[in-house]
Chains A and B, each alone.
Chain A
Amino acid sequence: MNILEVKNLNMSYETLEGSVAAVKDVTFSLKEGESFGIVGESGCGKTSVAMSLLQLQADNGKITSGEIIFDGKDIVKLNEKELRDVRWSGISIVFQGAMNSWNPVVKIGEQIREAIREHYPDKTKEENTDKINELFNIVGLDSSIADRYPHELSGGMKQRAVIALALSCDPKLIIADEPTTALDVVIQDQILNEIRKVQDILGLSLIYISHDIAVIAEMTDNMAVMYAGRIVEKGPTKEVFENPRHSYTQSLLASTPSVVGDKIKLKSLDGEPPSLINEQIGCSFAPRCPNKNTSCNPNHNMELVEVASDHYVDICNAERSK
């Protein structure tokens, strides 16, 4: 059963310099209990996708077309009141840098209570306290943390508390947007383990967004690679890593240094990720593509085609042999 289906999502921002299409024709789906990764660099649109899922995009951002079907309902069509029901108790999110968005003058426990009260106003104080203790237990925090202020906690603790907050209204789907970027690698490892544990215990679905391809490799069942607002490759994580078909995916994998395995010379990509203001005709990756051959048509319309079971890649890469 698909808990989330995103179909042909298009989203753009209105800026002083014109309309910027941040998300172009994005389609993917998620089963219950599955974890799905979205990997890409800055400006590829992955955070915009995350914001769209909760209709939390900035004031000048708008979903111009497409459907987001969560649990059977198209949430693009919901009004503000109905959206509030979905947010947090249906889908919740751990933002980038979320640990810094705690209100510094309110205790952690109180802030979580606030969230619970919004969605379950009828619960008693004791029930909420029990809930918070349960949440803290799941993320590995001591229950005394509820009485502390954010500045008294370390970065890792704050981030665990953020995860507890995201779980507080029993969502079915959690979006994690670079939840461990500012953390040390040892703490990151612990947090990733917590997330995996939480997923197992509660049967949660997870969308994991990151620029770090190693984290995606370890945390996700299926994944999508985004470039300049589009998905250029998607499929089961293992399959994508073993048989990367898109030149961009191949480049990403070839430019990630690793501590295991032989020390190899890495390959880099020329150029820079494109600015989205100038509307790109044809293939947005063409300017940087290292695999251009005589049959490459840089003006081809980008679309995903299936090359193996559940493994999709942009059309020009599909035709090219590996």
Chain B
Amino acid sequence: MNNNLIEVSNLEKYFEISGGIFSRNKQVVKAVDGISFNIPYGSSLGLVGQSGCGKTTTARALSLLDPKTGGDVSFYNDETKSMQSIDELEGDELKKFRRNIQMIFQDPYESLNPRWNIKDIILEPLNIHNIGNLSDREEAVFEILKTVGLTPPENYMPRFPHELSGGQRQRVSIARTLIMKPKFVVCDEPTSMLDVSIRISIMDLMLNLAKDLEVSYLYITHDLAVARYMCDRIAVMFNGKIVEIAETEELLSNPIHPYTKRLISSIPIPDPSYNRTKYEIDFTELDQIISTNSGNADMVEVKDNHYVATHDVKGLL
């Protein structure tokens, strides 16, 4: 299907920081300052940026963990065959809707309850949504453990998280995430705390499962190389806004926004003979795009499916 699964329009998340009990000053931190993107069915989007750019906040808003302060997020509704805003959902409908979205967290050591065993951890989503009977659920846990490579499953089910390695814990997280067959998964840097030699196995696992189960995902990372490996499209985030968004290879071979260029040129290359060219910040190309931007749009389509932001970043870079 070519339909969009998710449409995000002008998403905003502002935080108010009061200056104290006696101060009237309320500062507003615009963690996410109006971002828009779409994710088609069965595809993936990478959200790349440095710390503090707002990518984790975006993830939390999208997974309905923290409420957004502005903008709209819409999901495709199978029954009505149209996009439905999440603002319209509440109560039981909202709970049922939550079966469609899941999240995989960065820290394998903190994302599993240390007092629950693996079986209960993976069972929990099924219990919350009352799927099938007890033996159906245990069967499902058994199968998913095999799918994520934790075999034989009966050896893992009674274990506790602290007995597993980081990589194994992430597999458990993936199992728990996918047991409900969600349509959309937010991945918050799931491999950055793992050893290099096992990162690829986890990433490959996620790629294969996403393909088999037709899951779309938003992959958050600060590492462009990882985003390249995992995602069809990449959005570069800076200071709460998306500055550029394009298909992966296009972004890497033809970056346009000065921030994207600077980001790409800062990445060390695992090849001693490669000469990285140092990038000097240059606004000429961007200025030209802004000047020819007649519609005053926030994001200008410079090429097919390749958008660049037109807001002012001169003081910030």
- A/B contact in complex, CB under 8 angstroms: yes
Interface string of B226-262 (1 = CB under 8 A from A): 1011000000000000000000010010000000001
Q: Of residues 191 to 226 in B, which have CB atoms within 8 Å of A's CB atoms?
A: 195-201, 203-204, 222-226
List 8 tightest A-B contacts by C-beta distance, closest first. A268-B200, A268-B201, A184-B50, A189-B266, A214-B268, A257-B225, A214-B270, A269-B197
Per the bound structure, the CA–CA distance linking A186 and B230 in Å amounts to 22
**A270 proximity list for chain B (CB < 8 A):** 201
Q: Of residues 52 to 109 in A, which have CB atoms within 8 Å of B's CB atoms?
A: none
Q: Of residues 268 to 289 in A, which have CB atoms within 8 Å of B's CB atoms?
A: 268-270, 272-273
Q: Of residues 105 to 133 in B, which have CB atoms within 8 Å of A's CB atoms?
A: none
Nearest CB of A to B171, in Å = 12
Nearest CB of A to B205, in Å = 9
Interface string of A20-64 (1 = CB under 8 A from B): 000000000000000000000110000000000000000000000
Interface string of B260-272 (1 = CB under 8 A from A): 0011111111111
Nearest CB of A to B213, in Å = 20
CB pair A268–B204 under 8 Å, yes or no, is yes
Q: Is A201 an interface residue (CB 8 A)?
A: no
CB pair A186–B273 under 8 Å, yes or no, is no
Per the bound structure, the CA–CA distance linking A268 and B198 in Å amounts to 6
Interface string of A224-257 (1 = CB under 8 A from B): 0000000000000110011000000001110111
CB pair A258–B165 under 8 Å, yes or no, is no
Contacts A/B (CB < 8 Å), 28 sampled: A41-B195, A41-B196, A185-B224, A185-B267, A186-B263, A188-B266, A189-B266, A211-B196, A212-B196, A213-B196, A214-B267, A214-B269, A217-B270, A217-B272, A217-B274, A238-B272, A242-B273, A252-B197, A253-B270, A257-B200, A257-B223, A257-B225, A258-B225, A266-B204, A268-B197, A268-B198, A268-B199, A272-B167
**B228 proximity list for chain A (CB < 8 A):** 257, 259, 263
> Which A residues form the contact surface with B (CB < 8 A)?
41-42, 184-186, 188-189, 192, 211-215, 217-218, 237-238, 241-242, 251-253, 255-260, 263, 266-270, 272-273
Q: Is B27 an interface residue (CB 8 A)?
A: no
Q: Which of B197, B223, B268, B269 is within 8 Å of A255, CB to CB?
A: B197
**A186 proximity list for chain B (CB < 8 A):** 50, 262-263, 266
CB pair B199–A255 under 8 Å, yes or no, is yes
Q: Of residues 68 to 104 in B, which have CB atoms within 8 Å of A's CB atoms?
A: none
Q: How many A-B residue pairs have CB under 8 A?
A: 110
For the A-B complex with A218-B276, A237-B272, A273-B197 known, give 15 more contacts whose Cβ atoms are closer than 8 Å: A188-B266, A211-B195, A213-B196, A213-B270, A217-B270, A218-B269, A252-B197, A253-B270, A257-B200, A257-B228, A258-B225, A259-B264, A266-B203, A268-B197, A272-B195
Q: Is B151 an interface residue (CB 8 A)?
A: no
Which A-chain residue is minimally distant from B193 (CB atoms)?
A42
CB pair A185–B272 under 8 Å, yes or no, is no
Nearest CB of A to B183, in Å = 26
**A238 proximity list for chain B (CB < 8 A):** 272-273
CB pair B268–A212 under 8 Å, yes or no, is yes
CB pair B224–A259 under 8 Å, yes or no, is yes
CB pair B252–A185 under 8 Å, yes or no, is no
Nearest CB of A to B132, in Å = 34
Q: Is B25 an interface residue (CB 8 A)?
A: no
Per the bound structure, the CA–CA distance linking A253 and B270 in Å amounts to 8
Q: Which of A218, A242, A256 is within 8 Å of B196, CB to CB?
A: A256
CB pair A256–B270 under 8 Å, yes or no, is yes
Nearest CB of B to A311, in Å = 14
CB pair A259–B270 under 8 Å, yes or no, is no
Q: Is B3 an interface residue (CB 8 A)?
A: no
Q: Which of A184, A217, A256 is within 8 Å of B51, CB to CB?
A: A184
Which B-chain residue is minimally distant from A272 (CB atoms)?
B165
Per the bound structure, the CA–CA distance linking A187 and B203 in Å amounts to 26
